[in-house]
C-alpha cells in the first residue's frame, strides 16, 4: 500500500482542563424548534465536548461556571452560559459558522504537527481502492466479501483529546475505526483515507448517531494495538472491549458431488472484554449482569434493577458507566 505524509488538518484548541464538573443534558435546535443532529457542543474553557445525537439531544460533563458553544454547518456558532444548571437547551440561528469553516483556510491549519520526539506526523494518507472482487481463484468465482474491517458502516463525526489536554476537532472531517489494526481513520472527501498516528492523542470519541459516544484509548496492558474501546471508565475501574478482526479467505471445495466451505472472503470479529480495577492487572470477563454485580460491588445494583430484563450489551455498559458518573 502506497503511503505519503500530509499536513495536520484538524483545528487544535488549547483549553484549561481544570475545574469542577457537573453532568449536563440538553438539546440543540434551530429557531423553528427542529433538532440539529450531530451539532458539536463543548465547554469553551475546558476540553469537555460531545456531539448531539440524531434527535439533537446531548450529554456531557462541563464546568458549571463555564459556557457551552454549539457548532454546526449552516448555523452561527451559539454560546449559552451554564450558570450552574444541569439542563441547557441551545437554539442556533442560521448563519455561517466560523469554527466549522476554520479548517478550510490558513487560520485553521495547525501546520505539520509532530510528536515532539521522533518527528512523526500525526496523519498519514492511505491510498485506497474500492470495489468488489471478480477474481477467479482455485477454480471458483468469488462472491462479494462479507463483513468489514471497519467498526462502523458509515463515516461519522468525532474528536480527540491530545496528550496536553488540547481539543482536536474539525466538523468537516469524518472518522472510522480500523478493527484490524486498531487505528483511527478519517476522510475529508470520502475518497482519500488518512490514518492518524498514535503519538499526541490521549483518547478519541466517535459518534454514531446515538447519545453516548464510542470512546477509545491506548491500553498497552491489554492490547498492542494503538487504541481499543473503553466501555466504562471511572476512577475505580474500567471495562474495555478488544475486537480482533481477521480476514478469512474463501475455501470453497467441490468434487462434483460434495461441496464445502465458502465462496466469499469474510472479515470476522473476535470480541473480548476486560475489567481493570485501579492498581490491578486486567481480567477477562463476560458481559453478564451477575458478573457486573460482582465486579462493581453495589455500585451497579440500582442501574441493573432499573433495566429489568434488558440484555447486557455494549450500550448497556456505556449507559451503566454514565449512570455511575452522576
Task: Return the HEC string of 72-107.
Answer: CCCECCEEEECCCCCECCEEECECCCCCCCHHHCHH
pLDDT tens, residue order, the chain (326 aa): 333 333 334 455 555 555 688 999 999 999 999 999 999 999 999 889 999 999 999 999 999 999 999 999 999 999 999 999 999 999 999 998 877 654 432 222 233 333 333 333 445 555 443 444 444 445 667 889 999 999 999 999 999 998 888 888 888 899 999 999 999 998 888 888 888 876 778 999 999 999 999 999 999 999 999 999 999 999 899 999 999 999 999 988 887 888 889 989 999 999 999 999 988 999 999 999 999 999 998 899 999 999 999 999 999 999 999 998 87
The pLDDT, as a whole number, for residue 119 is: 38
The pLDDT, as a whole number, for residue 255 is: 78
Record the cell numbers describing residue 102, joined without a space: 476554520
Alpha-carbon distance values, 125 to 145, 173, 194, 249, 264 (Å): 24, 14, 4, 27, 29
Record the cell numbers describing residue 138, joined without a space: 482455485
For the stretch 280-298, what's the b/e string if a residue is b when 16 or more beta carbons lie within 10 angstroms of its beta carbon?
A: eebeebebebeebeebbee
Record the cell numbers describing residue 319, joined without a space: 449507559
Three-point CA angle 196, 201, 203, nearest 5°: 105
The pLDDT, as a whole number, for residue 196 is: 83
Instruction: Quickly list H helices, 123-259.
Output: none
Which neighbouring-strand residues pair with 206?
158, 214
Best CA proximity match to 190, nearest among 154, 144, 150, 214: 154
Best CA proximity match to 156, nearest among 171, 134, 140, 141: 171
The pLDDT, as a whole number, for residue 165 is: 84
Alpha-carbon distance values, 196 to 7, 15, 223 (Å): 11, 22, 18
How far is Cα 183 from Cα 205, in angstroms, rounded to an integer? 13
| Stated pTM of the model | 0.82
The pLDDT, as a whole number, for residue 192 is: 85
Give me the helix-helix angle, 314-324 and 289-296, nearest 10°.
Answer: 30
Amino acid at each position: 500500500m502506497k503511503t505519503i505524509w500530509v499536513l495536520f488538518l484538524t483545528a487544535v484548541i488549547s483549553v484549561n482542563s481544570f475545574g469542577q464538573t457537573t453532568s449536563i443534558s440538553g438539546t440543540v435546535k434551530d429557531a423553528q424548534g427542529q433538532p440539529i443532529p450531530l451539532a458539536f457542543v463543548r465547554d469553551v474553557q475546558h476540553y469537555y465536548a460531545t456531539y448531539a445525537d440524531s434527535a439533537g439531544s446531548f450529554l456531557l460533563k462541563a464546568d458549571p461556571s463555564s459556557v457551552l458553544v454549539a457548532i454546526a454547518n449552516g448555523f452561527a456558532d451559539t454560546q449559552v452560559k451554564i450558570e450552574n444548571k444541569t439542563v441547557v437547551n441551545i437554539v442556533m440561528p442560521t448563519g455561517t459558522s466560523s469554527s466549522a469553516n476554520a479548517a478550510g483556510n490558513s487560520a485553521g491549519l495547525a501546520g505539520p504537527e509532530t510528536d515532539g520526539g521522533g518527528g512523526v506526523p500525526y496523519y498519514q494518507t492511505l491510498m485506497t481502492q474500492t470495489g468488489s472482487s471478480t477474481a477467479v481463484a482455485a477454480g471458483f468465482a468469488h462472491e462479494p466479501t462479507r463483513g468489514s474491517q471497519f467498526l462502523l458502516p458509515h463515516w461519522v463525526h468525532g474528536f480527540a483529546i491530545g496528550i496536553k489536554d488540547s481539543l482536536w476537532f474539525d466538523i468537516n472531517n469524518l472518522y472510522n475505526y480500523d478493527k484490524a489494526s486498531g487505528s483511527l481513520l478519517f476522510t475529508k472527501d470520502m475518497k482519500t483515507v488518512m490514518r492518524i498516528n498514535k503519538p499526541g492523542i490521549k483518547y478519541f470519541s466517535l459518534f454514531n448517531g446515538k447519545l453516548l459516544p464510542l470512546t477509545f484509548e491506548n491500553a498497552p496492558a491489554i492490547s498492542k494495538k494503538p487504541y481499543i474501546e473503553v466501555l466504562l471508565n471511572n476512577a475505580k475501574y474500567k471495562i474495555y472491549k478488544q475486537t480482533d478482526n481477521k480476514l478469512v479467505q474463501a475455501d470453497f471445495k467441490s468434487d462434483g458431488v460434495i461441496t464445502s466451505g465458502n465462496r466469499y472472503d469474510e472479515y470476522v470479529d473476535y470480541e473480548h472484554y476486560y475489567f481493570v480495577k485501579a492498581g490491578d492487572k486486567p481480567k477477562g470477563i463476560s458481559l453478564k449482569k451477575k458478573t457486573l454485580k460482582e465486579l462493581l460491588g453495589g455500585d451497579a445494583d440500582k442501574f441493573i434493577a432499573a433495566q429489568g430484563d434488558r440484555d447486557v450489551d455494549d450500550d448497556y455498559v456505556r449507559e451503566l458507566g454514565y449512570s455511575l458518573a452522576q
